[in-house]
């Protein structure tokens, strides 16, 4: 398996797993330091909060990739199984529009925060790094949505609502 194929299949899962593992370890150490040694880590809660933001946004991309996002399937049930491909395409198109709007507004916002040079109170990391989770996560979700549309066009008979992008390969 080549590197690009490996990243295509596992990148979001690796990032989300790493972030969750780091958050868990940080919070366990924080609880130990606070309640056992009576010396709390002042930066642990802030780090956990920032990691949660990144986890949420990368998890969004993972949900799109694995088709685990919320699906309202009343229309295909109402109009029959032959309408699944149409409603799936409409859903993907709506997701792309949503991603485009979020990217359109979030990139300039991150650039403004970067220009201001705001730092987080405890960790003293640039706040743009935290806010960058939004455009990065949405960009990943848009790429995964485009992949799903491509697969639907390439093999329309394989389209089933809720089928992960990687399983349709």
Contacts with 30 (C-beta within 8 Å, 6 or more apart), sequence order: 40, 41, 44, 45, 48
Q: Is residue 63 a contact partner of residue 99, using CB atoms and an 8 Å limit? A: no
- CA 105 from chain centre, in angstroms, equals 17
pLDDT tens series, the chain, 169 aa = 687 777 778 888 999 999 999 999 999 999 999 999 989 898 999 999 999 999 999 999 888 888 787 777 777 778 877 777 788 888 889 999 999 999 999 999 999 999 999 999 999 999 999 999 999 999 999 999 999 888 888 876 655 545 555 554 4
User: pTM of the entire structure?
Assistant: 0.81
Per-residue DSSP letter, 157: G
- As a whole number of angstroms, the distance between CA 7 and CA 25 comes to 25
């Amino acid at each position: 398996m080549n590197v690009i194929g490996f990243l295509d299949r596992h990148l979001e899962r690796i990032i989300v797993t790493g972030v969750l593992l780091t958050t868990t370890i940080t919070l366990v150490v924080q609880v130990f330091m606070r309640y056992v040694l009576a010396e709390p880590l002042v930066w642990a809660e802030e780090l956990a909060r920032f990691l949660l933001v990144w986890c949420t946004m990368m998890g969004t991309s993972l949900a799109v990739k694995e088709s685990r996002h919320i699906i309202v399937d009343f229309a295909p049930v109402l109009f029959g199984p032959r309408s699944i491909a149409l409603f799936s395409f409409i859903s993907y198109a709506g997701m792309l529009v949503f991603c485009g709007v979020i990217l359109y507004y979030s990139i300039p916002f991150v650039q403004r925060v970067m220009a201001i040079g705001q730092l987080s109170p405890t960790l003293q990391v640039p706040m743009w790094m935290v806010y960058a989770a939004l455009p990065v996560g949405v960009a990943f979700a848009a790429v995964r949505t485009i992949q799903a549309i491509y697969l639907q066009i390439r093999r329309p008979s394989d389209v089933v609502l809720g089928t992960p992008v990687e399983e349709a390969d």
